[in-house]
Chains A and B, each alone.
Chain A
Amino acid sequence: MADDKDSGEMRLQEIQKKIKDAFEVFDHESNDTVDVREIGTIIRSLGCCPSEGELHDLIAEDLLSQVSSRMVEEEEPTGYIRLEKFLPMMVKVLLERRYRPIPEDLLLQAFEVLDSAKEGFLTKEELVKYMTEEGEPFTQEEMEEMLSAALDPETNTIQYRDYLAMMVIDEN
């Protein structure tokens, strides 16, 4: 078989090509830059699952070429990210296996935590309240989209076990 070092090198190259391909999908002007607002999508599509806060930190610390001396928490980053900055950072993230996806059972537990009555489902109001007021709140669009797939219109509830099961199948 190939040398360990060689195969490590090959693996690195493969990772780099993968990152470049994903980056290029959003590089509309074909000049190796993407709008910073699309970075989250690119990072997530490469297999990572950062929270919004983690994403924000990544961008602020590593990526923006011009960072204001003190970046306010609620401020939306603007501008463009260059591939030459993104690539090494992303390689590191992938090699260090940061922001791993969430295992199914943990997700289930999360839903169960929110299900205070322990009935096996969440009401629409409950889900909306949690998702738009707790954690890193959803926008209205995100909320609507989640409901469109998760909500059982007959009972106006979210049967979260079924919902999760369906999403997991779809992911694979």
Chain B
Amino acid sequence: MGSGSSTPHHFVLQKAESAFKAAVLIQRWYRRYIARLEMRRRCTWSIFQSIEYAGQQDQVKLHDFFSYLVDHFTPSSHNERSFLSCMFTEKRLLKDPEMEKYCDYESIEVPDCYTGPHLSFPLLPDHATALVEAFKQKKQLHARYVLNILHEARSHLMQLPNINRLSTGYSEEITVCGDLHGQLDDLIFIFYKNGLPSPERSYVFNGDFVDRGKDSIEILMILFAFMLVYPKEFHLNRGNHEDHIVNLRYGFTKEVMHKYKVNGKKILKMLQEVFCWLPLATLIDGKVLITHGGISDKTNLELLEKLERHKIISTMKYTKKPEKEKLVEEGRSSSPWFPLKSRSVPSSPLRLSPQKGSRSASIPCSFIPNRKEISKRVRKSVQLELEKCWQQVGFSEFKIQEELPFFPPESELDPCDLQGVDYEEWKQVADILWSDPMPQEGCKANTVRGEGCYFGPNVTEQMLQKHSLQFLIRSHECKPEGYEFCHNRKVLTIFSASNYYEVGSNRGAYVKLGRDLIPHIVQYQANKATHTLTMRQRISRVEESALRALREKLFAHSSSLLGAFKSYDLDGTNFITLSDWSAAVESVLHLGLPWRVLRPQLVTHTTNNMLEYTSWLDDLAKEQLSHENIQSSLLEVLYRNRSNLETIFRIIDSDHSGLISFDEFRQIWKLFSSHMNIDISDESICDLARSIDFNKDGNIDINEFLEAFRLVEQSYLEDKDLELKNSETSHSSCSSHGIH
């Protein structure tokens, strides 16, 4: 530093120095900004994942609850029996002539006013292309053609082996796609970018074509059409969502009934018969194994090839062979069927093992020995409940079997065929469809999903060596980049539904394999809107969505939260520290989220670092409820369980009429809530049932009832869409997308 001399040389040096310093400053600041964005992005991702998996756990609990009912009650009157059998067993139409008759399409006439695509059979490539074009223009395929395609698809699939073997010698390049989940835009984009299927262009779609997105049936039609047109080049694997029970919860059933009001039931029934015939896996050049979920340490390809896959209608429910004993859960079976009071719901996938760092912990199995004790206790309380319910609705008295196991002789359940497969075989398939890879060595039950396993790198290695494979391709998990390698690049996850959680949440990807079997990945994001957004705007948008979902969950647990907060506020001051807030929230929600990191977004008004929790809960409520502002804990409980409710409704509504009887609802809700430890009085249930029986005819219209909750969500979504549109047209970056 000179002492005031101002030679040009010196001046330049000073200037250069300051330019350097200025640049460093700006770069420092910018990198911090990016880091904070990155943190927000990660948190947003974990929010979505935890909520998604928590929902899946609910589903499993629900089914376990129903299975328990099936196993433990002897219906003693015809009414009861038909009620139970309608709910819990499936009428299999095994015989072809019967099914042909029920799902007959030839008698369905296509009216002149129909503007959608016309198909003739056998299908030609032009038909398949026409389908794609028609769906792009939002046309709907007529039910007759849908059923026809399903019939043809089934006939074709029946000829395929359980494990499809392909060769790159036949068609030089094979493109493998992952989950699509009803997102037609992504499928259209893949065909646009990669080309339509043809004899020179092979495709493998690795399951989960349906559910969640709104165009599941259209995707199925396109996929089946190409499969029929190019049978040697176009291949499908079954996913865990190709399953009517999963469809009940995750939207496909609803979509079909909504789009096909007259013939929807037929289509749904037919779909069951098609899904079960989908191949379980694909093998390329004998070197690359493609399954939807993954593998387990018990995966046995020989067994998989031999079993009768079409007998497994659903991997969510194990239907026994009549002469076999009741299912005995082995050490590593799926999560305990009964939600024990003392045990919390497994937390998010970010926390795989309950003891951090421990590698061999297997979670639920230690409870198995106590099962009998627990089931005795449970049975007693349920018996009392049931008796009350049956009495209220006028059923005659009934008895509960004292002995376990119970299994109704076939003759009593006439139209129901309970033919199934061995437990071992069923488990092989469940593992293939539901498992996830994990970084730790070993293999343990997948408690997050409730089915399948977590498999470690050693399991992969064993599998590869045993069958001389090079690597595995699987799907089943959403990844931010649309794909992810793990297990030393021996396992590739490929996920093709972009923007899965929200617009901008993730990319989709597909992988191409040539003769050299080296994977080439192509990524995309099928929504033009995201391209005009900066990273900040994209992250903000997705984050908004995640936070909204999280606030909803918080609201849904308001009473428990209040209780937890109070336990930290022993002096009754109405204030708790922010640290206690974090602890309390985790103890109630069990989502395993980084609450302290998320806190600034969820708690905005604090005094002296303390939170007035009652007003915070009030604010949550105001946000969540419609203008009617009904404040009742009952509503909160319903809201929290609305997915479960909807699933229950749809199961009860076995003829898919959209209506269930008042009494049916009451009984089931009562049983369900007592098992899920929801504290609800008898009176409230009756009141509730009465109030949702809107026209007092003894029937509840499912859709009307759920509409009330949907309206709240819908108005949020509309607002957000509007905001996005506004931000696109005006170039100025919007502070409206900033964090609160």
Which residues of A line the B interface, CB within 8 A?
A: 10, 13-14, 17-18, 21-22, 24-26, 28-32, 40-45, 48-52, 101-102, 106-107, 109-111, 113-114, 130-131, 134-138, 142, 145-146, 148-149, 153, 166-167, 169-172
Contacts and interface: CB of A to CB of B under 8 A. Distances in A.
A41 B38 contact: yes
A41 B35 contact: yes
Contacts of A52: 27-28, 31
Contacts, number: 148
B23 A171 contact: no
Contacts of A45: 35-36, 38-39, 597
Q: Is the interface of B mostly helix, strand, loop or mixed?
A: helix
B19 A101 contact: no
22 contacts: A10-B577, A18-B597, A21-B595, A21-B597, A24-B594, A25-B43, A25-B350, A26-B42, A30-B357, A32-B356, A44-B35, A45-B36, A45-B39, A48-B32, A114-B19, A114-B26, A130-B26, A131-B26, A135-B25, A138-B27, A138-B30, A153-B731
Contacts of B596: 17-18, 21-22
Residue in B34, B35, B439 whose Cβ sees the most chain A Cβ within 10 Å: B35
Given A25-B46, A135-B22, 13 more contacts: A25-B39, A28-B439, A44-B36, A45-B35, A45-B38, A45-B597, A52-B27, A107-B29, A130-B26, A135-B23, A136-B27, A148-B534, A172-B738
Interface residues of B, number: 48
Contacts of A137: 27
Contacts of A49: 28-29, 32
Top 4 A-B residue pairs of the complex, sorted by shortest distance between their CB atoms: A135-B23, A44-B35, A134-B23, A45-B39
A170 B439 CA distance: 36
Contacts of A14: 578-579
Nearest to B357: A31
Nearest to A137: B27
Contact of A170 (B26, B43, B536, B731): B536
B15 to A, nearest CB: 8
Nearest to B735: A169
A30 B353 contact: yes
A106 B26 CA distance: 10
A138 B33 CA distance: 14
A137 B30 CA distance: 12
A21 B594 contact: yes
Contacts of A135: 20-27
A131 B46 CA distance: 33
A135 B35 CA distance: 19
A22 to B, nearest CB: 6
Contacts of A114: 19, 22-23, 26
Contact of B26 (A29, A31, A48, A107): A107
A134 B20 contact: yes
A74 B439 CA distance: 31
A110 B21 CA distance: 8
A154 B534 CA distance: 17
Interface in B579-604: 579, 582, 594-597
B36 A131 contact: no
Most buried by B among A10, A25, A167: A25
Given A45-B39, A145-B535, A136 B24 contact: yes
Nearest to A28: B439
A51 B28 contact: yes
B579 A113 contact: no
Contacts of A145: 34, 534-535
B515 interface: no
A87 to B, nearest CB: 14
Nearest to B737: A170
Given A25-B46, A29-B440, A30-B352, A170 B357 contact: no
Contact of A24 (B22, B25, B350): B350
Given A51-B24, A131-B27, A22 B350 contact: no
B23 A130 contact: yes
B39 A170 contact: no
Contacts of B731: 153
A43 B43 CA distance: 16
A118 B356 CA distance: 56
B525 to A, nearest CB: 15
A110 B26 contact: yes
Nearest to B353: A30
A43 B34 CA distance: 12
Nearest to A101: B32
A113 to B, nearest CB: 4
B419 interface: no
B396 to A, nearest CB: 54
Contacts of A171: 33, 36
Nearest to B578: A14
Contacts of A40: 31, 35
